[in-house]
Structure formats: structure tokens, C-alpha cells
Chain A
Amino acid sequence: MEFFNVAVLVKNKYGVLNRVTSMFRRRQFNIVSLNVSETETPEFSRITVKAEGDVSEKQQLINQLYKLPDVKSIKELAEDAILSEVLLIKIQNDPAYRGEVLDAASAFGAKPVDYNHDAIVLQLTETSRKIDDFISFLQAYNIMEICRSGVVSLERGESVLRVNSYL
């Protein structure tokens, strides 16, 4: 089992996400994170999937995705692509460790976006790996709730995801 990231350019209409994720399900790939957003072209949206599965089956998955009429292009994202995720984490605001939490936040580059007597909400935009590290560090404190956005990604340089005439 391995992790990989793919970006899928699709028609921006209802039901398309279902068609795409259904292909992952049918081939028993677990979707670890998922992001759907509109793109520079209103008629297309971009689905970014981080998935876990048998790497030998990965190409078959991509081949099958290409056969969906609503799929316009697919790219597997290389390790050096810009991969970014947003974390919101809510921690109990306890005077006993408040200072340590805020120190860690500043070390990781996270910022408090909500602060009251009961809880602190921190926001961090980073790679999945850094976010994992941050969460793991905060495990020592009372984490009340976590929400992550799913990975968004662009390739470096001038390379872009455009409609591909595969067929």
C-alpha cells in the first residue's frame, strides 16, 4: 500500500465527484483526503485526491478515470509539486500549558484564529507532513477537535493542468 496524489480536471456539474470517487471505491482505493474547487475556467473544477492503495493498480485506476466523459485531464502529482493543506485545531485553553501551545504554534507558523477562556483555535497552512507533526506535538495537550481541508496542489514552474485529448 502506498500513498499518492492525483489532480483530476472535471466538468463542473453535479454528480461528477460521485463518478470520480466511485472509480476509487470500485478499485478499493481508500481516499485519504479530498478537495474539490472551481478553477480558472468556470466550466471545470479540480478534484485533488490523496489516496492509498496498491501501486500496481494505480495506473489502471488512472486509465479508467480517463474513460469517464466528464474527466478532462489527470495528473499524478510528483513529490516536488506544491502540496498544501489547511488545519484547524481546537485546544482547551488551560493556563497550565497555554504558553507551550502558543510557542509551538509560532514555531510551526500556525496562527490563533479564535481565542476565549475555554478554547484556542489554531490555523496552519502547510504540507500534510508538517501538519501531521504539529498535531502529533499537540497530542500532549487536550485537543478538542480537528478539521483538515484536504490537499490542494499545483505543479512547480509553468506546467499546468489543461484539457487533455487522451482519446
Chain B
Amino acid sequence: MLLSGADIVVRTLIDQGCDVVFGYPGGQILNVYDSLYKYQNELTHVLAAHEQGAAHAADGYARVTGRPGVVIATSGPGATNLVTGIATAFMDSVPMVAITGNVPSTQVGTDSFQEIDITGVTLPITKHNYFVSDVRELQDTIREAFELAMSGRPGPVLIDVPKDIQIAKCEYEPKAPVVTEERKAAKEIRIRQAAEIINKAQRPFIYFGGGAITSDAADEIIALADKLDAPMGCSFMGLSAIPTAHPRFLGMQGMHGHYASSMGMHRSDCIIALGNRFNDRVTGNKAKFAKGAQIVQIDVDGAELGKNIPVAVGLRGDLKKTLEALLPLIEEKTNPDWQSELAGFKKEEIEALDQRQGLTPRRAILALNRFLGPNTPVSTDVGQHQMWAGQYTELKTKRRFISSGGLGTMGFGMGASIGAAFGTRERSVLVTGDGSFGMTLQEMATAVSYKVPLVIFLMNNGVLGMVRQWQTLFYDQHYSNTILDRKTDFVQLARAFGADGAKASTLEELEDALQQAFSTDGPFLIDCAIDKDEFVLPMLPPGGSMDDIITRIGD
């Protein structure tokens, strides 16, 4: 059948199995929006308040479903407003397809109204991008974009479609959704080399990352831990890959990682790194990082092997399949000495645990935990609340912890939690701070318009807490521009948007507010008062090693 480029865009998305896309219309994408109108019974478009919110929503949708999130925006500012969202997805390896309109081909390069070279702008933050110059290539380009977004290490892909290409017509035949090339296991020789090293280990440590979620490798990772009698820790991005309550799981690593987890990895003689990149937040001072350990690293992206930390053996391949092949070569063992050393670290961690009563950050998250269903997606913004959520949220199901780990994007949470709600059809929870929330709170309007069941758990301390923490520790308490002390009444604000909310300044009030929030149909904001001088602990100082870890303040 003869279709316009705009129709082809929408039809191809439908053929790919998309059920919902996020976006914001504008002059140079009008034709696509006309097609969205035409096909509205087959494809839902969610109108955000700002393109950045739409991009984060597509990201949140992708993280909870594992399928590419789709975002649509117009040229110029519409396209540049996507940039933070695309970069966030890029850093966390999230599959996303961004479609932007552009000025007609004949005007490209003339600085016409709302023209921007978005393929140039997004070059370093996409896996690949396309400028479509022929309507006959449009369908295959979109299909290729979906394939690229999902294949290997996932990531965002952008397609820029000039207006004349949206208008031009060509023959269109529906095609079955693209099948992503299967990820293969690593080479057999590497698997044997890895097994040899792992079998010699006396203090093995399993450290998994976001790749464990992408590859759906939880069962294999746990099987490996059981066979080796090894503890497990994860990067921030690995959270939710396995249930946090698993007895072998010591918690996340990183600048604010769990003490026992970080000490365990530090003391290990063999780190088995699964789908992560040894980010600087995890290693601290690289020269002092886990000096006694041989490292075995498995990653689907060969460029990650040994990139940040030298490894004894690097295995390029799909995590699940590589572990399946590795497991039979692993000798079953017990490590009583190692386990008792780990038990010591756990005891130290518990002793240092914040046991204060009242509305402390830990008690606040623990209160929230009691309301979370097994499938509730918990999104966060960026800052202290994010680390508290990472430390204390009880996660039972994979793809249910949604947070900007790599880029650390304040303002990510509102869009992401809306996208997570559309992806799961569950009540969605956002843990945020007053700083982050202030950046993208206009998406409250989106949540209200679409009656999104969204609990906004606002940990309000009136300051930019994480930066303040650094200023306290490393900048002589010069609180430069981190005291917000704004007069915003967040509950009134929620009501102004058409939502509801409640204040909580004690644990009892928090219980009541949570009760109300989790029984409300639409969005509900809890303005939870947190003291401005709360710290996220433990803390591995930047560039420090485990010898420098701060577990208590004021000792």
C-alpha cells in the first residue's frame, strides 16, 4: 500500500510491537502526530510536559520491560531537550529509539527556524543515529534502529526525519518485528581459563552489574555462588537482578556501598565480575583496588574487558549463556574461613548500622518497604535519597529498581516513574529529593492527566544533601548554593496539579501518608521531612581505598 513517511513511522512502530510511545509535538513532526491521531487505537501516545520528561519516560518503560522505549519530538529545541534523556539511557545501556522531526531537506543547513543538527549533537551519546534522506529507506531504518538498540549491549538510537520525508509517499509492506541477533556465549578456551582461575580461589567474590539484568542471568549467578560458596555484591546498576534478601547477597558496591560487600570484594582473591565495568565509584583508587584478587570478567561488550581494571581473563559473550557453559566446569566447594571472615564484616556493618529511632532516612525507606508489592517499580532521582533507596529498598523482582546510575541525572525520576507505570501497569513509586524533584516536577501534570498511580516519596531536607555532604566533609562546611530553603508547599503544589498529597514529619505521620498514597488511584505526593545534616554512610571518599572508608561521622 502507498503510505506517507509519517504513516510509515507509526505503522513500523506498531509492526515492531510498540504499544505506547512518549513525546511532545511540534512544527516539524506534525505529520507524524497526524498519523498518531489516525492510528490512536493501535498505538498510545503519552504527552509529557517537556521532551526531557518524555525521554526519561521512554527510558523507564524500557528498563521495566526490557523492550526499547520510544520517544518522539520535534526539531530544534524539541530534539535538544531529549539530549539528557538519551545520554542517561546511553550511560546505563538502556534500549531506546528516539524519533525527531527536522526541517525539510531543502532547508537543511540553512539555519532555518528550529533547525538543529541533532545527529551531530547526539553522536557521542547514541549507539548510532540516522538522518533519513529517502522515504523508501524509512521503514528499514526504523527496523535497523530497533535491532541496534536491543543487540549486544543495548543503548539509544536516534532517527532524524525531515518534514518532506514525512510527507513523501512510497509503497509499504508490513514486516514481522526484527529479530535481534542472538548473543553468543564466550569462547570455550576463555571459559576453561576462567574456570581454572575460579577453581583455585579461596576467597571468591561474585560482583554483578546491569548486564545481569539485561542478560536475565540471575539463576546462573546464584547457582555459581552456591557452587563456590561465594558471597555476591553488585554495582548500583545491578540492583534488582536478584532479590536483595538472598542470604548470599551482601548488597551494592560503590561510594556508598554496603560495608560487608565492599570489604568482601576488597579482601577477595578472585573477583568474578559479571556484566559491569568497574566504574570509578566502585573502585575508588584503582592502584589500591582489591590488590590481592585475580579478576575474571564477563561482558557482552568486549571493549569493557579490562577497560578500567586489568583482568586475568576477559570473556566476551552473553552473560547467561557464558555462565551456563562455565557452571559445569566449576568445582563445588565450601570456604569456611572465608565465610567466617565475611560474617565478621557483616557483624561490623550491623554494629555501624544507623539504629536511631524516629524519621531517619533508613526508617523512612523501611516504612516504604512495607507497602511495596513484589512487582512495584521503584524509581529514584539522584542524590542522597537515591543512595538511601539503593541501600535499604527491599527488591524482590528484577527490573524493578529504576535509577540513573551512570550519568547521575537529577530530574530523571518523574519521567522514569511514569514510564515504569506504563511498562508494568503497576502502581509506581518514585523516591526523590527536593532538589531533583524541582528540576522536572512539571511532569506531575502528565501523571495527573493519565491518572498514573504514582507514589511520590519526597525526602525533603531543604538542601542539596549530597553536595552538602561533600561540602561538610571536604569543603570546610562552605555551603555554597546548596541551601534551598524554598518556600514551596509541596502538598499544595500536588493539589494545584490536580493530585493529592500529605506531609509527614514523624514516622507515624509517614505510615498514615503511605496508607493514603497506596490507596489513591492517581498520583500522591508524600512530603517527608528529613534533617538537612543526615549523611549517606558508609562513604568511600573520592579517590580513596577501602582503608579510608568512613562508616561513622563524629568518631
* Chain A residues at the B interface, C-beta cutoff of 8 Å: 15, 18-19, 22, 26, 60, 63-64, 66-70, 166-167
Query: Lowest 10 CB-CB distances: which A-B pairs, in order?
Result: A63-B303, A69-B128, A64-B303, A22-B123, A167-B152, A26-B124, A60-B307, A63-B302, A67-B303, A69-B148
Give the distance in Å from the alpha carbon of A105 to the alpha carbon of B426 in the complex.
79
- Minimum CB distance partner of B120 in chain A: A18
Instruction: Select which of B120, B124, B127, B303 is within 8 A of A60 by beta carbon.
Output: B303
A-contacting residues, B52-102, CB 8 Å: none
Q: Which residues of chain B are within 8 angstroms of A167 by Cβ–Cβ distance?
A: 152, 302
Q: Which residues of chain B are within 8 angstroms of A15 by Cβ–Cβ distance?
A: 119, 131
Give the distance in Å from the alpha carbon of A110 to the alpha carbon of B120 in the complex.
42
**Binary A-proximity of B299-310 (CB < 8 A = 1, otherwise 0):** 001110001000
- Minimum CB distance partner of B184 in chain A: A167
Once the chains bind, are B128 and A68 in contact (CB under 8 Å)?
Answer: yes
A-contacting residues, B128-178, CB 8 Å: 128, 131, 148, 152
- Chain B nearest Cβ from A29, distance in angstroms: 15
Give the distance in Å from the alpha carbon of A72 to the alpha carbon of B285 in the complex.
37
Q: Which residues of chain A are within 8 angstroms of B120 by Cβ–Cβ distance?
A: 18
Known: A15-B131, A63-B303, A63-B307. 9 other contacts (CB 8 A): A18-B123, A26-B124, A63-B302, A64-B303, A66-B302, A66-B303, A68-B128, A69-B127, A166-B302
Q: Which residues of chain A are within 8 angstroms of B303 by Cβ–Cβ distance?
A: 60, 63-64, 66-67
Q: Which residues of chain A are within 8 angstroms of B302 by Cβ–Cβ distance?
A: 63, 66, 166-167
Give the distance in Å from the alpha carbon of A55 to the alpha carbon of B124 in the complex.
22
Give the distance in Å from the alpha carbon of A67 to the alpha carbon of B155 in the complex.
12
Give the distance in Å from the alpha carbon of A63 to the alpha carbon of B152 in the complex.
14
Give the distance in Å from the alpha carbon of A18 to the alpha carbon of B123 in the complex.
9
Give the distance in Å from the alpha carbon of A66 to the alpha carbon of B127 in the complex.
12
Once the chains bind, are A22 and B124 in contact (CB under 8 Å)?
Answer: yes
A-contacting residues, B284-311, CB 8 Å: 301-303, 307
- Minimum CB distance partner of A166 in chain B: B302
Give the distance in Å from the alpha carbon of A26 to the alpha carbon of B127 in the complex.
15
Q: Which residues of chain B are within 8 angstroms of A69 by Cβ–Cβ distance?
A: 127-128, 148
A-contacting residues, B362-377, CB 8 Å: none
Provide 24 A-B residue pairs closer than 8 Å at the C-beta atoms, listed in order of the A residue.
A15-B119, A15-B131, A18-B120, A18-B123, A19-B123, A22-B123, A22-B124, A26-B124, A60-B303, A60-B307, A63-B302, A63-B303, A64-B303, A66-B302, A66-B303, A67-B127, A67-B301, A67-B303, A68-B128, A69-B127, A69-B128, A166-B302, A167-B152, A167-B302
- Minimum CB distance partner of A26 in chain B: B124
- Chain A nearest Cβ from B317, distance in angstroms: 11
Q: Which residues of chain B are within 8 angstroms of A26 by Cβ–Cβ distance?
A: 124
Interface-central residue, B124, B131, B152, by most chain A CB under 10 Å: B124
Give the distance in Å from the alpha carbon of A166 to the alpha carbon of B316 in the complex.
11
Give the distance in Å from the alpha carbon of A56 to the alpha carbon of B303 in the complex.
13
Give the distance in Å from the alpha carbon of A63 to the alpha carbon of B307 in the complex.
10
Q: Which residues of chain A are within 8 angstroms of B127 by Cβ–Cβ distance?
A: 67, 69
- Chain B nearest Cβ from A56, distance in angstroms: 10
- Minimum CB distance partner of A63 in chain B: B303
Give the distance in Å from the alpha carbon of A60 to the alpha carbon of B148 in the complex.
21
- Chain B nearest Cβ from A3, distance in angstroms: 23
- Chain A nearest Cβ from B291, distance in angstroms: 19
Q: Which residues of chain A are within 8 angstroms of B148 by Cβ–Cβ distance?
A: 69
- Chain A nearest Cβ from B244, distance in angstroms: 32
Give the distance in Å from the alpha carbon of A22 to the alpha carbon of B148 in the complex.
20
- Minimum CB distance partner of B307 in chain A: A60
Q: Which residues of chain B are within 8 angstroms of A68 by Cβ–Cβ distance?
A: 128
- Minimum CB distance partner of B305 in chain A: A63
- Chain B nearest Cβ from A65, distance in angstroms: 9
Q: Which residues of chain A are within 8 angstroms of B131 by Cβ–Cβ distance?
A: 15
Give the distance in Å from the alpha carbon of A60 to the alpha carbon of B123 in the complex.
18
- Minimum CB distance partner of B128 in chain A: A69
Give the distance in Å from the alpha carbon of A60 to the alpha carbon of B127 in the complex.
16
Q: Which residues of chain B are within 8 angstroms of A60 by Cβ–Cβ distance?
A: 303, 307
- Chain A nearest Cβ from B127, distance in angstroms: 8
Give the distance in Å from the alpha carbon of A14 to the alpha carbon of B123 in the complex.
14
- Chain A nearest Cβ from B314, distance in angstroms: 11
Give the distance in Å from the alpha carbon of A75 to the alpha carbon of B148 in the complex.
24
- Minimum CB distance partner of B123 in chain A: A22
- Minimum CB distance partner of B301 in chain A: A67
- Chain A nearest Cβ from B406, distance in angstroms: 16
Give the distance in Å from the alpha carbon of A123 to the alpha carbon of B152 in the complex.
48
- Minimum CB distance partner of A68 in chain B: B128
Give the distance in Å from the alpha carbon of A160 to the alpha carbon of B124 in the complex.
30
Give the distance in Å from the alpha carbon of A63 to the alpha carbon of B301 in the complex.
9
- Minimum CB distance partner of B304 in chain A: A63
Q: Which residues of chain B are within 8 angstroms of A70 by Cβ–Cβ distance?
A: 128
- Chain B nearest Cβ from A112, distance in angstroms: 41
Q: Which residues of chain A are within 8 angstroms of B301 by Cβ–Cβ distance?
A: 67
Q: Which residues of chain B are within 8 angstroms of A64 by Cβ–Cβ distance?
A: 303
- Minimum CB distance partner of A67 in chain B: B303
- Minimum CB distance partner of B152 in chain A: A167
Give the distance in Å from the alpha carbon of A40 to the alpha carbon of B148 in the complex.
28
Give the distance in Å from the alpha carbon of A18 to the alpha carbon of B120 in the complex.
9
Q: Which residues of chain A are within 8 angstroms of B124 by Cβ–Cβ distance?
A: 22, 26
- Minimum CB distance partner of A22 in chain B: B123
Give the distance in Å from the alpha carbon of A68 to the alpha carbon of B123 in the complex.
11
- Chain B nearest Cβ from A33, distance in angstroms: 23
Interface-central residue, B127, B301, B303, by most chain A CB under 10 Å: B303
Give the distance in Å from the alpha carbon of A63 to the alpha carbon of B131 in the complex.
25
Give the distance in Å from the alpha carbon of A16 to the alpha carbon of B303 in the complex.
20
Give the distance in Å from the alpha carbon of A13 to the alpha carbon of B278 in the complex.
36
Give the distance in Å from the alpha carbon of A68 to the alpha carbon of B152 in the complex.
12
Q: Which residues of chain B are within 8 angstroms of A66 by Cβ–Cβ distance?
A: 302-303
Give the distance in Å from the alpha carbon of A166 to the alpha carbon of B184 in the complex.
12
Give the distance in Å from the alpha carbon of A129 to the alpha carbon of B401 in the complex.
57
Give the distance in Å from the alpha carbon of A128 to the alpha carbon of B148 in the complex.
40
Give the distance in Å from the alpha carbon of A129 to the alpha carbon of B307 in the complex.
33
- Minimum CB distance partner of B133 in chain A: A14
Give the distance in Å from the alpha carbon of A67 to the alpha carbon of B86 in the complex.
18
Give the distance in Å from the alpha carbon of A68 to the alpha carbon of B127 in the complex.
7
Give the distance in Å from the alpha carbon of A69 to the alpha carbon of B123 in the complex.
12
- Minimum CB distance partner of B147 in chain A: A69
- Chain B nearest Cβ from A167, distance in angstroms: 6
Give the distance in Å from the alpha carbon of A64 to the alpha carbon of B153 in the complex.
12
A-contacting residues, B103-129, CB 8 Å: 119-120, 123-124, 127-128
